Amino acid sequence: MATKVICGKTVQVNEEGFMTNPAEWDKDIAVEMAKEEGIIELTPAHWKVIDFCRGNAPTGKAPTLRQITSGSGLSTKELFGLFPKGPAKKVARIAGLGKPEGCV
């Protein structure tokens, strides 16, 4: 298993850069991962989605886009505004979860 240093912490990642141990995640890591994804600042709307995903994925399994929209109360369009070009995949990476099922 590969590792990556983020914010001075060594975390386990897979070949696509998704964390494999959700327990290693913290909010500082999320901020750095967001920057890597081109998101300069995490707003309260971003954190609402991230917290939803973290709270509903205790096994490290990321929710699908449909689960995120129904659970967070945000539309698909709003999610694409927050996490452009693949919101389910980006939020999973930022939230320290595995790749969502069905994502290419």
Structure-derived torsion over alpha carbons of residues 66, 59, 28, 95, reported in degrees to the nearest 10? -10
Tell me which residue range forms the domain holding 74.
Answer: 2-94
Closest to 89 (Cα-Cα) out of 1, 5, 16, 22: 16
Tell me, yes or no, whether 100 lies in a domain: no
Cβ distance 97 to 18 under 8 Å?
yes
Tell me, yes or no, whether 84 lies in a domain: yes
Average pLDDT for 82-86:
93
Average pLDDT for 35-56:
93
Q: Residues with Cβ < 8 Å from 10, sequence gap 6 or more?
A: 3, 4
**CA gap 57, 43 in Å, rounded:** 21
How many separate domains does the chain show?
1
Residues acting as catalytic residues:
103
What integer pLDDT is reported at residue 62 of this predicted model?
A: 87
pLDDT tens for residues 2-23?
889 998 899 999 988 899 888 9
Q: Decide if pLDDT at 101 tops 80.
A: no
Tell me, yes or no, whether 103 lies in a domain: no
- pTM for this one? 0.90
Residue-averaged pLDDT of the chain: 89
What integer pLDDT is reported at residue 99 of this predicted model?
A: 83
